[in-house]
Amino acid sequence: MPDPALQVEGLEVEFPTKAGTVHAVRGMDFSIAPGEVLGIVGESGSGKSVTALATMGLLPKSAIVRGSIRFDGRELLGLKEKQLAGVRGTGIAMIFQDPMTSLNPVYTIGWQIAEAIRAHQDIGKEAAQARAIELLAKVGIPNPAERVDNYPHEFSGGMRQRAVIAIGMANDPDVILADEPTTALDVTVQAQVLESLKTALSETGAALLLITHDLGVIAGLADRVIVMYAGRPVEVGTVDDVFYKPSMPYTLGLLGSLPRLDSDGTERLRQIPGSPPSMLGAPTGCPFAPRCPLRADICTTTEPPLVVVPSVDSVGGDHRAACHFAASVAAGEHGALFSDADAGVAAP
């Protein structure tokens, strides 16, 4: 078994605020094998972006980060900015959510790509420029030789995001972190951007950490998935495992809330009632309990650990879920957990 490209253990992130300490991430563990695509799914505020930012060391200075992030045999947590600069871009690259503001408006696209290249490779301006044109072509920008001298405001949103992907792949990173790369874009444009992302992966052979709240994107791209809720993983497994054998009520809720092409159109979308909890202070018990139809006394006192649950593929698959009733949920004993009748469940 080859060494993982990226390994995160016991990651905890806290932000001190005037109202108290916000526990954004409360214990993330995962590893990504080389070339693998790992998806992280969750609602806003679940801590998924914070996880990625922590990996790159891009959190605000006030953030308190604990745990271990190992890349290429090195511990990244605690490195100084200068040392991190040596890893960013060339070892781990990151793509952000909002293409409208990610690029610097005063430099041309080509200049910004070339800048990324020359930060890590010892090549001249013309060579870097030529490489930038190549990269733009690879991500599917038409007329790359002319477009390379455009400014960001002359690109559409989708094209900008693809330019950002080009920057991401410029130095052949081993891991790419994509933080909601398609969320700010129209659906048709999303497809193009995802294509570019796939190209980036095949060109560089990099592993991908794909963060999104869109299960459809996960289904199309990811090998494994982590479902995050309230700063913790609540279900982990291969895409097949999580989609076909969800073992945690929250996962069920997420899947059930998706509109399906094969439905007869008369069913209402199922919502999970209530809203995500405030991350101030440490919760007692399972953070999903207030919204969970299976809620029992034990749920409010003890936070369930990740336990192994059956996989689709009975051979090795590492499928785990954090629920006291994981086994029975996995066995499908609870039918339609979230239905109209649950609209009456009290919000927290």
178 and 211 Cβ atoms separated by less than 8 Å: yes
Give 283-336 as a DSSP string: -SS-TTGGG-TT--HHHHHSPPPPEE---SSSSS---EE--TTHHHHHTTTT-S
Print burial letters for 294-313: b (CB count within 10 Å at least 16), e (below 16).
bbeeebeeebbebeebebee
Window of 33-41, 187-195, 196-204, 278-286 that interacts with other proteins by CB under 8 A: 278-286
Which is nearer to other proteins, 96 or 338 (by Cβ)? 96
Number of residues that bind other proteins (CB under 8 A): 48
Phi, psi of 83 (to 5 degrees): -70, -40
Residues 29-48 that bind other proteins (CB under 8 A): 44-45
Which is nearer to other proteins, 10 or 16 (by Cβ)? 16
184 and 109 Cβ atoms separated by less than 8 Å: no
Member of 102, 182, 196, 238 binding other proteins (CB under 8 A) = 102
Nearest in space to 77 (alpha carbons), one of 13, 122, 156, 133 = 13
Which is nearer to other proteins, 180 or 241 (by Cβ)? 180
Neighbours of 83 (CB within 10 A): 13
Member of 49, 192, 204, 247 binding other proteins (CB under 8 A) = 49
Nearest in space to 42 (alpha carbons), one of 212, 291, 220, 292 = 212
Member of 3, 64, 104, 267 binding other proteins (CB under 8 A) = 104
Member of 33, 77, 100, 130 binding other proteins (CB under 8 A) = 100
Window of 14-22, 122-130, 251-259, 264-272 that interacts with other proteins by CB under 8 A: 14-22
Residues 162-201 that bind other proteins (CB under 8 A): 164, 167, 171
> Residue 289 corresponds to which amino acid?
A
Phi, psi of 342 (to 5 degrees): -80, -5
CA distance 268 to 14: 38
Token couple for 117: 């290249």
Does position 15 bind other proteins by CB under 8 A? yes
Residues 55-94 that bind other proteins (CB under 8 A): 56, 58-60, 62, 81-82, 85-90, 93-94
Member of 77, 79, 115, 198 binding other proteins (CB under 8 A) = 115
Q: Which residues bind other proteins (CB under 8 A)?
A: 15, 17-19, 22, 24, 44-45, 49-50, 56, 58-60, 62, 81-82, 85-90, 93-94, 96, 98, 100-106, 115-116, 119-120, 151, 153, 164, 167, 171, 275-276, 278-280
